Amino acid sequence: MNDIEKSIELLRAQTEKAKNELLKAEGKLESLMRNEEEIIKEVRELGVEPEQLEEEIRRLEKEINEELQKAWGYLPQELRK
């Protein structure tokens, strides 16, 4: 094989590799999009819109911290550390 034929063969192989990688990436993208849809559905079933998720997380963290403080307050002073 001469240099031109080698170059063409290499180009074919690289093109085929790129096609395979593209198909693999498209499959992964489809899977991730399905996962995203499922997560959005689950979040909505919990009564939260996806756009409000960060705000809801902050609210829940605050509520948890407040309840923990209350729980610590029920312990005798000598047991609080």
pLDDT 10s digits, 34-55: 999 999 999 999 999 999 999 9
The model's confidence at residue 66, banded by pLDDT at 50, 70 and 90, is: very high
Cβ proximity of 40 and 48 under 8 Å: no
Check: pTM over 0.85? Answer yes or no.
Answer: no
Place of tokens 């489809």: 30
Res. 80 pLDDT band, cuts 50 70 90: confident
Let me know: does 43 contact 53? Beta carbons within 8 Å. yes
Model pLDDT, residue 53: 95
